[in-house]
Structure 1
Amino acid sequence: MLLSSFVRKGLLFFLLTCLSIHISKAQFLLNDSISYQPKKLTTLGISAGAVYGVSMFALNEAWYKENKREEFHFFNDAAEWKQVDKAGHFYTAFYLSALSAQSINQCGVKAKKSALLGSLAGFVLISSIEIFDGYSEAYGASVSDLIANAGGSVFYWWQQNHWQELRLQPKFSFHRTPFAPLRPAVLGENIPTEILKDYNGQTYWLSADMDKFMRFPKWLNLAVGYGAHSMLYARDATNTANGYDPYRQYYLSVDFDLTAIETDSKFVRGLIKALSVIKLPAPALEMSKKGVKFHPLYF
C-alpha cells in the first residue's frame, strides 16, 4: 500500500491547496459577523465538488483502474510503521476540516454550523479514498485509517464547538534520515518524496496555545511530539528479521505562535497561516527506550 499512500497524500495536498485559496484570514477563526451569501456558497460547493470529482476520477484512472476489483473488504494495517502514518491521517483530516469550515464560514454560514459541516467535509475528503482501496484486490479499506481520520475531524469540531477557537493545534516537522537511501522506492529518493514517505523523519506535534489557559507569552507555545525510528519495513517482525530495532520517540519542546505577529499585509497573513501548520525548529527533549536526549535544535 506504499505507493498508494504516496499518491493519496499527493492528492490530499492538492485538495488542501485548492481549499486554501478561499481563505484570507491569518488565523483559523470562525465568526458570525459575515452576512449570508448564498451565491458565494453555491459557487464554493460547485467548485469544490468539481475539483474533488476530477481528482477522484484522475486517481482512479492513474492508479486503481488497472487493479482487479473484488467485493468491498478491509485490510488491517494498524500495526504498521509504529502508527506514524495514522498520526498523518489525523493531521490531514484536521486541516481539511479547518479549511473546509473556514471556506463555508466565509460564505456567511454561522460559525458552529460551519465547524460541523467543515468537519464532515474534511472526513469525507480524506476517507472516500478508502472506498477505492476497499474494492481493489491489491489493497483494502483500513479501519484504523478511518478512525484516525475521524479523530482529526472531531478534534477540530470539538475545539470550535467548545472554545470557539483552536487552542491545541497539530503540527508537522521533518528531517532527513539515513534510512531512505537504503530503500528509496519505499522511503523516497529525494527530499519531496522522503517528506511524504519516510516515516522515520516525520514528527507529529500537538502545540498548546498556553496564553489561552494561563498567563504566558502570546508568541510562545508548548508542544508534545511523536515519531519513530529505525523502520525500513512496515512491520516490527520484518524489521527485526533484517537486523533493525524500531522504536517510538516522544518529544517535549517549545513552539512559536506566529499569529501573534500583527500585520495588515495579506501576503504576510497568508504566509503565517501556511507556516502555522509546521512546527518550527526549536530545542527539544526526546524520550524513548534509548533514554532521554536533548536536541539543541530539532525539526
Structure 2
Amino acid sequence: MRCKRLSLIFACALFTTPLSITPLSASNYYEHFSSLPKEDKVMWSNMAGVALISTWGITTWDYGSQSPHMEGDAWFGKNDKHGGMDKLGHFYTNFTLSHGLSYLYQSWGYETQRATLLGSLSAFGLMGFMEFGDSFGGHGFSRQDFIMNTLGAITGYIFLTRPELTKRIDIRVEYIPGGQRDIFTDYENMKFIVALKLDGIQSVRNRYLKYLDLQLGYYTRHYSAESQENKERNIYIAVGINLSHVLHNMSHKKTAKFFNYYQMPYTYIDRSKNLNE
C-alpha cells in the first residue's frame, strides 16, 4: 500500500520537477514558461493538471489503495449514490473546465476554433485521467461518470462554437461551503442550475425584464448522512436576478463572466418538489 502511494508521488514529482540542478525563482519559471511555443504550453499545462489530480487523489481520494476495479453505479434514482448529483458534478466540471482551458489557450495565441477544440479535448482527457485514478481508489471506475464527463466536454464545445447559446443559456452551480474538506464532492451543499437569460432573447424588450432569468434546478439532501432516512431529490423552477447582466452594465465584465457559471445563493425565488415523496 505505502509503496503504491510513494510510487505515485514520485511520478508526480517527475512531472513537476525540471531537469535542472540549479533552482529557479518563481519569476524565472514564469519567464521561461512565457517564452515557450504555445504547443509546449498546452503540453506542460496538461501535465501539470495530471500531477495536480494525482496529488489530490492520493491525499483525498485514496488513489493507490486498491487494485483497479469498477464501481457498481447508477444514475438519478431514489436509492442511488448521491441521488445523481455526483453525475451532474462530473458534467459541470467538464463543461467549465473546457471553457476555462479554451480561454487560456486563446490567450496563448491559438485562434478561437482551435482553442475551443483543444480546451474541450484537454478537459475530457484530464477528467478521464481522474476517472482512471478512481479505479485505484475507494470510488472505483464509473461508466456513468465517464459518460457525463463526455457529455460535459461536448456541451462545453457546442456552447463555445455557438455564441447564440451562451447569450441565452447558463449552466451554473450554487455552492455554500458546509465544512467538508473535499469541496469537489460536497454534494449536500450544491445545486445544479440551467438558466435562461432574458437579456439574450430578442423578443424581450422590457429593459427591467432583462435583469431576470428563469431557472431549472436540481439538488439532493441527506444522501451523505449516516441514517439517510430523510433523503431528498429536489427539482425546482425559479425566477432570479441575472447578476452577469447587472455587472456587465456596471462595466465589471470579468466578474460578470464568473456569474455565468456560479449561481449566487438567495438571489432567486423558487418553487420546488421533492421527488422522493
TM-score when normalising by structure 1:
0.65
Give the equivalent residue in structure 2 for 1:126: 127
Structure 2 residue 61 is matched with structure 1 residue 76:
no
The range that moved more, 57-66 or 147-156, is: 57-66
Give the letter aligned to residue 171 of structure 1: R
Are 1:274 and 2:258 counterparts? yes
Instruction: Return the alpha-carbon distance in structure 1 between the equivalents of residues 89 and 236 of structure 2.
Output: 17
Give the secondary-structure state (helix, strand or coil) at the position aligned to 1:253.
Answer: strand
Please give the alpha-carbon distance, in whole angstroms, between the structure 2 residues aligned to 1:55 and 1:130. Answer: 14
What does residue range 170-189 of structure 1 map to in structure 2 within 5 Å? 170-175=171-176
TM value normalised by structure 2:
0.70
Deviations 1:54-112 (A, max 9, x none): 3144246536565243xx43212223111011111111111000001111122332322
1:257 aligns with 2:215: no
Correspondence 1:144 to 2:144: yes
- Equivalents in 2 of 1:172, 1:288: separation in Å? 19
Matches of 1:126 and 1:170 in 2, distance apart? 18
**Alignment counterpart, residue 189 of structure 2, candidates 198, 201, 204:** 201
Unmatched runs of 5 consecutive residues or more in structure 1: 1-36, 177-187, 234-238, 292-299
Residue 236 of structure 2 aligns with an amino acid whose one-letter code is Y
Q: Distance in 2 between matches of 1:232 and 1:45?
A: 37
Distance in 1 between the 2:262 and 2:274 partners?
23
Aligned residues: 229
Q: Could you say which structure has the greater relative contact order, defined with CA pairs below 8 angstroms and 6 or more residues apart? A: 1
CA 1:60–1:206 in structure 2 vs 1: closer, same or farther (change >3 Å)?
A: closer
C-alpha contact 1:169 1:207 (8 A) present in aligned 2: yes
Larger CA Rg, structure 1 vs 2: 2
Q: Map Cα deviations across residues 144-202 of structure 1 (whole Å, 9 max, x no partner).
A: 111111111111112223346513221112357xxxxxxxxxxx6x2x54854443332
* Counterparts of residues 240-255 of structure 1 (less than 5 Å): 242=227, 244-255=229-240
Please report the RMSD computed on the Cα atoms of aligned residues, expressed in angstroms. Answer: 3.1
Give the structure 1 partner of residue 18 of structure 2.
Answer: none
8 Å Cα contact 1:224/1:251 also seen in 2: yes
Could you say which residue in structure 1 is the equivalent of 2:19? none
Identity %: 20
